[in-house]
Amino acid sequence: MRIAAPAALLPDKASETPAAVATVTTLPGHTLEVVSDSGEGAQRCAQIFGTVSAKMGNGIWTVEIIPAEIQPPPRHPTSASGNRVRIGTGAVTNWGDAADLIVAFNEQALLQRFRLGALADDAIILIEDMWATHADPQIRNAWDDAMEELGGRSFRFINVPMEEQCLTIVDNARLGKNMFALGLLTCIYGRDLDLVRDAIAQGFLKKAKSALQTNLDLFELGHRWAEQHIDFRIAVPAVKPDRAMVAMNGNQAIALGSIAAGMELCAMYPITPATSASHYLSDVFEKFGGIVHQAEDEIAAIGVALGSSFAGKVAFTITSGPGLALKTEFIALAIMTETPLVLVDVQRGGPSTGLPTKVEQSDLLAALYGQPGDAPHVVMAPATMEECFLCMTTARRIAEALRTVVIVLSDANLASGVQRFPRPEPSEHWLAQPLDLAPVRDGLRPYDWDPQRGVSPRIVPGQPGGMFTATGLSHDEASHVGYTPDVHERGCQMRSRKLALFQQMLEPPAVNGDPTGDLLVVGWGSTLGAIEEAVERARQEGLSVSSLHLRFLSPLEPGLKEIFQRFGKVMTIEINYSDDPTDPFFTSENRRRGQLCWLLRAHTLVDVDCWTRVPGEPLRPGQILQAIRESMPQGGSR
Amino acid sequence: MPSDGRFGPAFDGFQAPLSAFRSLLVNTGEEVRAMLLGRRSTLESRAARVAAELGPLAAGRIDPERFATLVFDHQDADPAAAEILERALDVLTDLADRGERLSLVQVSAGGNLYDAVARALGEIGRAFSAARAILEIRSGRHGGDDGGVGPLPFGRWTKAERRLAPPLVVRVHGSDLRPAALAEFLDGRQKIILAVEGQCVPAPLARFITPGTYVLQTADGSGIDRFAAWEGPGIAALVPESAAFFEHDPAAGAAPWERITITHLPEKLPRRTLAGLSARQQAEEIDLLRSLATRPAGVESVAGAPTPAPAAKKKDDPADKLAAWLLSRVDLSNLG
Amino acid sequence: MSDLCCSLLSSTPDSEEREWTISDYEAALARWCPGCGDHAILAAVQRMLEAEQLPPEQTVFVSGIGCASRFPHYVRAYGFHGIHGRALPIATGVKLRRPDLNVFVVMGDGDCCSIGAAHWIHSIRYNLDMVALMLDNGVYGLTKNQTSPTSPRGLPSNTQPRGAILPPLNPISATLGVANASFVAQTADWLPAHVFATLREAFRHHGFAFVRVLQRCPKYTENIFSTLVHDPGLVELMVHPDGVVVPELDRMFKNKVQHDPADLDAARRLAVSDGNVRLGVFYRNETHPVYEETRAVPARSAGEKLALLNTELDRYAV
């Protein structure tokens, strides 16, 4: 027997309410999800929705919901594939808390999102209802079980006969529902029809016209169905920004940013979630005089980048945690030979193969200290898609000026999420990087270190009179191998002094909120938006909270101790593992802390606390807010 | 790109060297641009430039004045040097913008082929003039002169420069096809392709056959890919059916008859004087070609001995001596 | 080798006019053991550099780690003495973006055939225009006598004191088995004229030239080549006008085999040892595409790049 969705929440199926009578709710923001089985195109539907919203002037943030396999079994909770889109009147800086509306192509995908806490208590659920009356009794039972699990809450269910409707146009509805769903959403959110049609057409540039028409027809069908059957509309007013904007994901931003930075070689080996950056680069790089070299392995990838940099053409390599581990020896070689190099690590869940498609911030200490021996280098972390774009220019400059390695820590949240941001204005200054093969002046040695600052001018092959052999062995100013205590001490000192010098060039970080207070939360990387939203909400609740977000992790930005001392308590928020301090098993001695926390404690001798989680998804502002509430120091003002 | 008639195939085979030369101009131009930026910064604020180079992410995060101390600049702020650099950059940019047109020569009716080619190479030579002026400045040696960046005749090109210049495609009428004097341009890796319009003498290029020179006469462009790939100098002509088709590939063997493949000889012997050559002289050229291509009776093949580079050629081959002698006999006085 | 310059400023007229002599290629005094085969190989390499008149500033020697990998320190040219097994990726990066440079790679047998084996196999496929020397002494010398992948079976070492357990890997056969193999030769340190001639052919070859040099280690593996050194009858020279021609060796070596390096099947047969050790060019094929040429892309000026970047940004405009 079929268990019906709670009667009070069932849509009035009989009503043919015209759009004019639908109630319109105006909101500053809304979060929606589209989920299907892998291969049914929910991602495409949501991506178009996101792009169109951005074009209309809304702030957006999209997050992919991806199963680990390419073709997982259908109608299984782990198969849920799709996107979350959060839109807002102003800028949107993170993926939000729970979805206010979800379109689900089957009840198992819906169930998965529900179980993960992705749905707001009063979420509107548009669900394909063909499964309720499916010929296969197992499927009918699964539907019933799901409805029972979902029951008893304030969800508003709207059954949508997607299959039935799509079959009026196509034979295989599996390949058409996403456009139908796009029609539904376009109607509900009042999206610009022409923009949607254009965006659909963009995907069919290289395909048959008839295929495009079919998709457009499915889209119009969905739109009409919603006009006739859905009695509410959601308006998220858009404000046309006063400057040109772009929307892209962090990997695209890193790829484009590397071009804007004048790089001409990306040497890589396929690894999730870093690789999509090289997909995009492979498509366009050659137009710019650059190439993507797919090496035989992670080690060769950084080796090729290093060789190119040694020869005067600064290159970069892009990888993820397991690849970072393999590249370790080469990172140290670049540091030892003082060869500029940019390495992008798009972090995923670890250790080992871990969570290949999911976000985590657990490579920080490996990036800083993973190289055996003393190997000082720069580590920086972009916090937004825009910073992913911009950091490549900055990283390359630093690498060249300091003759060292710059590791850029991105993560899966930045890599696959799409955000709107002001269109970058590339400048020829970013690019300037040609070889200068002028003869080397007499007496100049390859490591003529400035004894105070540790820096030395770079010599590249082709320069007459500059011949030297770079070596990973301990060496003196002339790059002659030397094992004596003074030579090795001196080399170590010089490589370290560069970092100290660079630290002096950094400005103290800005504090978001009051410069003093009860609690300072400190973050790095992709958590910026969620942390700042949580802090904002906490401050509205009257809590005395500020936040600080670090871009440079090595060397650490200056003035941290002084800033920390102005707050009653300092706590990092990170997506990496730490032991739960409320578990009596842990003491302050045996508790393992978050990675930035560890670093800040060592660096400042301040008793920094941490709140970290490893859910395999971005942190939600609501979660962070709750952590802030619970972490307020005793006697804090309210 | 001109696509009419015989130009199309000639250019297709040369896409790579043309593009390589343009890349050379662009890369060199970028280096000069950077040199200029480095020099100008002593006039402008270095910190402002460094801030621009670090990009917006560094704004408020990295102190550009301090970072500027990491940038090792040229301290030479001589305005005269900067002016020469700018002129050199203009030349390089101009040549790069001209792209394939730089390689295209049109000999007007009744015009002098040698002059036209020399002029075109001289134009290309402006790039080398510019490079030399830049190198002088870079080494801090530039004198009080204006660092001339004018045309540089082929005769003054260095060995390296002779390997860098792009091929020339010359459109010339058959009656103006007096190629003998072009021999002086066949050095390094220089290639010249003559796209002949109208009737021409049957074997205008036969006298160019020397051990290290690729020589090609073809009607449809076949062989032009091998010609383009040859590491040494070469001359090719796209000729009408009334001329001989042959290919002299220096890599194909040690003896001339191993290197020459004749695919077509005109049926009728020439009867009229054309391009200053009498019918007899024209017939001589055909005979020369035929004799070079024929293995002398009783001579065995030289076991396929390779000739990997022009330098490795044997210099005492009788046929080559003959060819050289023939070339030396050509009267150049009325061509200059 | 390709002399396509990256820029008109990358070679100076001065350097062209200059005639290089052997002393221009000499750097630090080599610190290999007395009697080490590497000394003779170094001398042959320097002779070859002089014969080909390669400007030292346009020449790069890349090595890994091991006795052989000290090589760059002893040649006056640019050098990169990297990490164990990874010379080839570094060299690939150099040549890929700086095709104007002459690139030489020097590896040992452990470097090339063991820890760096993946790079060896794939470098053959990439087929960049460079010379890769594998100085094969059949042992790990620098770390003091451990079994290498080319140690003859039964050879005792510190890690396999009762003799090498496995049969040795055949680097020539392995190289000949890889797609795009383009130049494969073998020579021996005690025949400097042959080393020189082989190196010169390798350098002139357009593509990835793999040369295995049989190299004596006086400390640990003196015996593995001593019979060959003393009995030229055990060595068979592969002769062909397209291979290595060393007239001065004609009288010493009676064993010769005519082998056309264009014949891959014959090369594979000859590579398999049947008691004779063969020296010369096994295989040579210049028709394979050369990676840095296949991947060459037209250079773009700053202005062109900015215009193109803005076109790309248009794709993401909202």
Q: What is the CATH number of the domain that holds C57?
A: 3.40.50.970
Residue A1 is predicted with a pLDDT of 39
Q: Could you tell me the two tokens for A19? A: 């759009």
For A246-431, which CATH class? alpha beta
Report the distance separating Cα A390 and Cα A95, nearest Å. Answer: 22
Closest-approach residue (CA) in chain B for A441: B139
Cβ distance A434 to B30 less than 8 Å, yes or no, reads yes
The pLDDT value given to residue A9: 40
Q: C211 forms bridges with which residues in the sheet?
A: C133, C185
Per the CB < 8 Å rule, is C305 touching A256? no
Which of the residue ranges A275-284, B144-153, B250-259 would you say has the lowest mean pLDDT? Answer: B144-153
State the pLDDT confidence band at B99, using cuts at 50, 70 and 90.
confident
Cross-chain Cβ contact A432/B139 below 8 Å: no
Q: In this predicted structure, what is the pLDDT of residue B139?
A: 76
Rounded CA gap, A77 and A612, in Å?
A: 26
* Collapsed DSSP state (helix, strand, coil) of residue A37: coil
Of A289, A435, A505, the CB nearest to B31: A435
pLDDT score of A7 more than 60: no
- The percentage of chain C sitting over the pLDDT mark of 70, rounded to a whole number, equals 97
What is the band of C178 on the pLDDT scale with cuts at 50, 70, 90?
Answer: very high
Look at C298 and B19 and tell me if their CB atoms are within 8 Å.
yes
C145 assigned to some structural domain: yes
pLDDT at C246 over 50: yes
C-beta atoms of C122 and A296 within 8 A: yes
pLDDT given for residue A234 in this prediction: 97
Tokens of B330: 């050509």
Which of C72, C89, C94 minimises the CB distance to A295?
C89
Is C232 among the domain residues?
Answer: yes
**Span A351-357, average pLDDT:** 94
Write the CA distances from A120 to A117, A123, A153, A540, integer angstroms: 8, 5, 10, 21
Nearest by CB: A300 against C89, C97, C297:
C89
A148/B159: higher pLDDT: A148
The answer to whether the CB atoms of A507 and B55 lie below 8 A apart is no
Is the minimum CB–CB distance between A283 and chain C shorter than 8 Å?
A: no
| B336 vs C91, higher pLDDT | C91
Mean pLDDT of all residues belonging to chain C: 93
Residues of C in contact with A303 (CB under 8 A): 82, 86, 88-90, 92-93, 119
Q: Fold identical between A246-431 and A511-631?
A: yes
Within a domain: residue C82? yes
Please answer whether residues C106 and C66 qualify as being in contact, where contact means their C-beta atoms are separated by less than 8 angstroms.
Answer: no
Share of chain C above pLDDT 90, in %: 86
CB contact under 8 A, A312 and C80: no
Q: So what's the pLDDT on residue B223?
A: 86
In tens, the pLDDT along B202-252 reads 999 999 999 999 999 998 888 888 898 898 999 999 999 889 999 999 998
The answer to whether A291 contacts chain C (CB < 8 Å) is yes
A456 reaches B (C-beta below 8 A)? no
**Per-domain boundaries in chain A:** 7-235, 246-431, 511-631
Counted domains in chain C: 1
Q: Do A297 and C118 touch (CB under 8 A)?
A: yes
CB contact under 8 A, A439 and B139: yes
- State whether C317 and A246 contact (CB < 8 Å): yes
Q: Apex CA B277: angle with CA B276 and CA B279, to 5°? A: 135
C311 at B interface, C-beta within 8 A: no
Per-residue confidence band for B331, with pLDDT thresholds at 50, 70 and 90: very low
Residue A215's pLDDT is 95
> Given A402, A427, A428, which is nearest B70 (Cβ)?
A402
The answer on pLDDT for A176 being more than 80 is yes
Closest to B20 measured CA to CA, from B118, B167, B173: B167
Which residues from A are below 8 Å from B49, CB to CB? Answer: 429
Which residues from chain A sit within 8 angstroms of residue B67, using beta carbons? 401, 505
Put simply, whether the predicted model's pTM sits higher than 0.95 gets the answer no
CA distance C8 to chain B (A): 6
pLDDT per residue as tens digits for the range A448-463: 999 999 999 999 999 9
So what's the pLDDT on residue A339? Answer: 98
Report yes or no: B22 at the C interface, CB cutoff 8 Å: yes
Mean pLDDT of B285-302: 82
Residue C1: pLDDT above 50? no
CA–CA gap between residue A37 and residue A111 (Å, rounded): 12
Q: Do C241 and B304 touch (CB under 8 A)?
A: yes
Rounded to the nearest angstrom, the minimum Cα separation between B187 and chain A is 25
Q: What is the pLDDT of residue A70?
A: 75
**Chain-centroid distance, C-alpha B152:** 13
Helix (H, G, I), strand (E, B) or coil at B93: helix
Supply the range of the domain harboring residue C29. Answer: 13-315
- With cut-offs at 50, 70 and 90, classify the pLDDT of residue B73: low
- Report the range of poorest mean pLDDT among A51-60, A118-127, B39-48: B39-48
The pLDDT of residue A252 = 97
Q: Extract the tokens encoding B31.
A: 């280096």
CB contact under 8 A, A394 and B57: yes
Query: What distance in Å separates residue B195's CA from the closest CA in chain C?
Result: 26
Taking CA atoms, B132 is separated from A311, B125, B138, C71, in Å, by 23, 11, 10, 35
Q: Are residues A313 and C90, on separate chains, in Cβ contact within 8 Å?
A: no
Chains touching chain A through at least 3 C-beta pairs below 8 angstroms are B, C
Q: Could you give the CA distance from residue B70 to residue B47 in angstroms, rounded to a whole number?
A: 11
Chain B neighbours (≥3 Cβ pairs under 8 A) are A, C
Give the DSSP H/E element, type plus range, for residue C271: helix C264-271
Does position A13 have pLDDT exceeding 60, yes or no?
no
Q: Is the pLDDT of residue B314 over 80?
A: no
Residue C3 falls inside a structural domain:
no
Nearest C-alpha in B relative to A442: B139
Give percent of chain B above pLDDT 90. 51
The verdict on B131 touching C (C-beta cutoff 8 Å) is yes
pLDDT at position A361 is: 98
Using 50, 70 and 90 to split pLDDT, how confident is the model at A308?
Answer: very high
The Cα–Cα gap between A374 and A361 comes to 23
Q: Which helix (H) or strand (E) holds A492?
A: helix A485-505
Token pair 């991947």: residue: C295
Nearest to B27 among C296, C299, C304 (CB): C299
Q: Are A303 and C93 in contact (CB under 8 A)?
A: yes
Q: Which class would CATH give A511-631?
A: alpha beta
Q: Please name the residues between 243 and 282 in chain A that touch chain C, using a CB distance below 8 Å.
A: 244-248, 252, 256, 259-260, 262, 264-265, 267
Nearest CA in chain C to A464: C57
C296 contact B CB<8A: yes
C100 → chain A, closest CA residue: A462
The whole-number pLDDT of residue A249 equals 96
C298, part of any domain? yes
Q: What is the pLDDT of residue C274?
A: 76
Cβ-Cβ contacts under 8 Å, C304 against chain B: 26
3-state secondary structure of B274: strand
CB of B306 within 8 Å of a chain C CB? The answer is yes
Does any CB of chain A come closer than 8 Å to the CB of residue B60?
A: yes
Inform me whether the C-beta atom of residue C19 falls under 8 Å from chain B C-beta atoms: no
Tell me the three state secondary structure of residue B305. coil
Question: Is 70 exceeded by the pLDDT of residue B310?
Answer: no
Over residues B55-64, the mean pLDDT reads 96
Across the interface, do C298 and B23 touch by the CB < 8 Å criterion?
A: yes
* pLDDT reported for residue A220: 97
- Which residues 486-515 of A are in CB contact (within 8 Å) with B? 501, 504-507, 509-510
Flag whether residue C9 sits within 8 Å of chain B, measured between CB atoms.
Answer: yes
At B40, is the pLDDT very low, low, confident or very high (cuts 50, 70, 90)? low
**Does the pLDDT at position B325 exceed 90?**
no
The most distant pair of C-alpha atoms in chain A lies apart, rounded to whole Å, by: 92
Å between B116 CA and nearest CA of chain C: 25
Contact C301 B135 (CB under 8 A): no
pLDDT digit string (tens) for B126-185? 999 999 998 888 877 766 555 578 899 999 999 889 988 899 999 999 999 999 999 999
Condensed to tens digits (0 to 9), the pLDDT of residues A92-140 reads 999 999 999 999 999 999 999 999 999 999 999 999 999 999 999 999 9
Helix (H), strand (E) at residue C83:
none
Interface test with A, best of B31, B32, B62 (most A CBs within 10 A): B62
Nearest chain B residue to A440, by CA = B139
Q: Which carries the bigger pLDDT value, residue A441 or residue C182?
A: C182
List of chains touching C (3+ CB pairs within 8 A): A, B
- The domain made up of A7-235 has a fold known as Pyruvate-ferredoxin Oxidoreductase; domain 3 (3.40.920)
Range name among A622-626, C161-165, C229-233 with the lowest pLDDT average: C229-233
pLDDT, tens digit, 9 for 90 and up, residues C78-135:
999 999 999 999 999 999 999 999 999 999 999 999 999 999 999 999 999 999 999 9
pLDDT digits (tens, 9 = 90+) for A229-272: 999 999 999 998 999 999 999 999 999 999 999 999 999 999 99
Residues of chain A with Cβ-Cβ distance to B63 below 8 Å are 505-507
- Burial (CB < 10 A; 0-12, 13-18, 19+), residue B69, is middle
Tell me what pLDDT residue A2 has: 42
Supply the pLDDT for residue A165. Answer: 95
Between C213 and B69, the more confident residue is: C213
pLDDT value, residue B142: 66
Q: From A315, which residue of chain C is nearest by alpha-carbon distance?
A: C93
Asked whether residue C5 is domain-assigned, the answer is no
pLDDT at residue B43 in the model: 47
Lowest mean pLDDT among A214-218, A500-504, A626-630, B319-323: B319-323
- Minimal Cα distance from C5: which residue of B? B24
3-class DSSP state for residue A549? strand
Query: Predicted confidence band at B268 (pLDDT cuts at 50, 70, 90)?
Result: confident
- Flag if A436 and B34 touch (Cβ within 8 Å): yes
User: Which residue did the predictor score with more confidence, B256 or B148?
Assistant: B256
